[in-house]
Structure 1
Amino acid sequence: MLDLHKNLKNLVLLSFIGFAGLSTIVAIIPAYQLEDVQPLPDEPKLTQNQRDGLNTYIANGCAACHTQQVRNIEMDNMWGKRPSIPSDYYYSKQRMDLWRQSPSLLGSERTGPDLTNVGNRQAAQQWHLLHMYNPRTVVKESVMPAYPWMFEEVDSSMVTDNDVVVPVPKEFFDKPHLKIVAKPEVLNLVAYLQSLKQTELPGPQTPKFIPSIKEAAQGATAEAGSKSGSTAPALDGAKLFSQTCAACHQQNGQGLPGAFPPLAGSDIANDKDPKLMIEIVLQGYNSLPNYGPMPPFGDQLSDEEIAAILTHERSSWGNDAPAVTAEEVKKVREFVAREAAQ
């Protein structure tokens, strides 16, 4: 018997042995196992600007509200095409020195959305800059704090071509003689966020998501319906628009002046021929003066999803244009692919 209630030395010794054992199991052994982890073949290294942005991300406690881990359960499918694996963190988890590991980026809470694939979901620099200056400029319901100290107010006459001016709406900054200019630290932070893109895995062995009970039941119902000859339910274009497009173009289709163009009343959205609109979604667009570039969504959305979103856009906010079909999107996608191959 150790007589722990009487012998303080035995109590301390047992506590130390327990601590050492748990530390070995939880920290030391996994650390040695991770020595064998290699980067994915196509995974790009972080540039110096992106690494400086990573340091800014850590210093401002962003991991307290944002995760960078796509779990292998079905509900996480919205954050990435596949579950995260150790190799995804190879370049961002380099040791600071012999004694210190870099801070964890996995996070444990999602007060804000997961950022694993945010470089694909939100590729536009201007969106991120507006979001950092005041998140309510692009997401009205956001609870994220603003970071105005990462920007400076500069007299309009003093702005140079090298300055990155942020087109903050008047309701958030109404000083006509001044411009909001991004500081290097926030430009680096945005560069880091834009670099967060899931790398394609080599070969056919891609980890799968574990379907929820609800998803499994829906899948069984859909399979039964297909066997009986019934058609699958149509995609919800309004929901897809909210998930994919509303952050820039806003739920009301009005966009943001100087940053993202409006869809309400747009000549392109109201054109009877949807070809140009489909091309823009597939390839992105960077030809509108006074607006930021739109990233391509051809690799992120299926023909059916694009058709549902465009049909919603062309029939909402006063727009009145014919619906778009998946077959039309497919034809334009094939045309774009042929043009790119030539």
Structure 2
Amino acid sequence: MEIYNNHKKLFTAALCFFVLLTFFVAIGPAFTSQNNNAPLPGSKPLNRLETEGKAVFIAEGCVACHTQQVRNVDMDKVWGTRPNIAADYANITRTDVWRNTATLMGSERTGPDLTNVGTRQPSNDWHYLHLFNPRSVVAESVMPSYEWLFDIKDYAWPNDVVVNVPDDFKKGITGKIVATHKALALVAYLRSLKEVTLPDGKPVPIFLYGKSEAEKAAANTPGKGVTTKPEFDGAALYASNCQSCHQGNGEGLVGAFPALKGSKVVLDDNPEVQVTIIMKGYNGRVSEGYGVMPAVGTNNNLKPEEVAAIVNHERSNWGNNSKKVTADDVKKIIATFGKPETVIAKK
């Protein structure tokens, strides 16, 4: 054929074929995908500070140890309320013309998945302390310390964010530990990572490979050689919602998070203040150096039965021994939230 003897025709044909193939294989599917994947209602694009924080997340190599994908397997239930779908990533856009910060789904979980960390751990103070020294809040953590994201100052300016680090983890530092702009941005980005509730009527993906209903029923049937477990495990709920700050021994962290062991609020027979703090958060001890407690119960959509289980766990452990509460007690207290505020006592 003449085309094989004419290099101009040969290269022109090859170029046209390449452009045509590129359109059908890459450009066309990209446009189709873009038009068919709208962000979920309620999802928000990153603001300027959060976008800067994402860049810090990438620069510090966090993606090497943390995923951002809740898979549809039973073992991933601890990381999110549902498996991720494509629409969860539809709000992610290019940083600029030259850089495309794609989804940071990751491939390894040396550390926990971060898809829903903004809901699991909404406390700014916890994140700053965790970045400065991970062992201060999670004793078993293998995460490196990111101390370079903080400045040491003799005096803090009014707008400075001072991190209250327990003395055992200060490593001889005597000045004020202040979060830099990079630390502020990184924490803002981490707190922005939240799963959005799917619209009503949209099928919710299921977690696969969990126990079937028959297996669960058999496991909870007396006489089958398995001890019946309570429906709401206070110890497990405390571990997943409260332990990262107040610690497994209930003693908190001196100068950072108050203790529940021996707390007047926990020992009070009237659970109103304790339930209110769990559901609405608390900032009454900021002047003492403690951080603001977020509204854990509300943020994590805890049921009254789950709140009651947490309250009873706190009231019956670490030497605490106070009156147990019921789910009905919790419901009655929550029902009063629309009424004039109750004065919350100090823990």
What is the TM-score of this pair, normalised by structure 1? 0.83
Decide whether aligned partners of structure 1 residues 108 and 267 sit closer, same or farther in structure 2, where only a CA change above 3 A counts.
Answer: same
- Give 1:13's aligned residue: none
Decide whether aligned partners of structure 1 residues 184 and 331 sit closer, same or farther in structure 2, where only a CA change above 3 A counts.
Answer: same
Q: Which runs of 5+ in 2 are unaligned?
A: 1-20, 223-227, 342-347
Decide whether aligned partners of structure 1 residues 237 and 336 sit closer, same or farther in structure 2, where only a CA change above 3 A counts.
Answer: same
Cα offsets for 1:206-232 (capped at 9, x unmatched): 42323424254444448989xxxxx97
* Secondary structure, aligned partner of 1:153: strand
**Counterparts of 1:198 and 1:98, CA distance in 2:** 28
- Give 1:245's aligned residue: 242
- Give 1:18's aligned residue: none
Number of residue equivalences: 313
Decide whether aligned partners of structure 1 residues 282 and 109 sit closer, same or farther in structure 2, where only a CA change above 3 A counts.
Answer: same
| Alpha-carbon offset, residue 304 of structure 1 | 1.5
| Alpha-carbon offset, residue 278 of structure 1 | 0.8
| Alpha-carbon offset, residue 282 of structure 1 | 1.1
256-265 vs 33-42, which moves further: 33-42
- Give 2:8's aligned residue: none
| Alpha-carbon offset, residue 298 of structure 1 | 3.0
**Counterparts of 2:248 and 2:311, CA distance in 1:** 14
- Listed as ranges, the matches of 1:224-243 within 5 Å are 233-243=230-240
The one-letter amino acid paired with 1:326 is A
The one-letter amino acid paired with 1:333 is I
Could you tell me whether the CA contact under 8 Å between 2:166 and 2:256 is conserved in 1?
Answer: no
Could you tell me whether the CA contact under 8 Å between 1:167 and 1:257 is conserved in 2?
Answer: no
1:286 partnered with 2:283: yes
1:331 partnered with 2:341: no
1:197 partnered with 2:167: no
Decide whether aligned partners of structure 1 residues 271 and 154 sit closer, same or farther in structure 2, where only a CA change above 3 A counts.
Answer: same
- Listed as ranges, the matches of 1:169-184 within 5 Å are 169-175=166-172, 177-184=174-181
- Give 1:69's aligned residue: 69
- Give 1:318's aligned residue: 319
Aligned counterpart in structure 2 of residue 167 of structure 1, from 164, 180, 199: 164
308-317 vs 208-217, which moves further: 208-217
Cα offsets for 1:120-176 (capped at 9, x unmatched): 111111100010011001000001111111111111xx2111111111111111546
What is the TM-score of this pair, normalised by structure 2? 0.82
**Cα root mean square deviation, aligned:** 2.8
- Listed as ranges, the matches of 1:1-342 within 5 Å are 31-36=30-35, 37-91=37-91, 93-97=92-96, 100-155=99-154, 158-175=155-172, 177-221=174-218, 233-288=230-285, 289=287, 290-299=289-298, 300=300, 301-337=302-338
**Counterparts of 1:130 and 1:296, CA distance in 2:** 19
Could you tell me whether the CA contact under 8 Å between 2:241 and 2:296 is conserved in 1?
Answer: no
**Counterparts of 1:58 and 1:323, CA distance in 2:** 47
Cα offsets for 1:94-130 (capped at 9, x unmatched): 1245565324311111111111111111111110001
Quick one: percent identity of the two aligned structures?
Answer: 48
Could you tell me whether the CA contact under 8 Å between 1:151 and 1:181 is conserved in 2?
Answer: yes
**Counterparts of 1:177 and 1:196, CA distance in 2:** 34
**Counterparts of 1:66 and 1:29, CA distance in 2:** 32
**Counterparts of 1:260 and 1:215, CA distance in 2:** 40
58-67 vs 200-209, which moves further: 200-209
| Alpha-carbon offset, residue 338 of structure 1 | 6.0
**Counterparts of 1:143 and 1:176, CA distance in 2:** 22
* Secondary structure, aligned partner of 2:153: strand
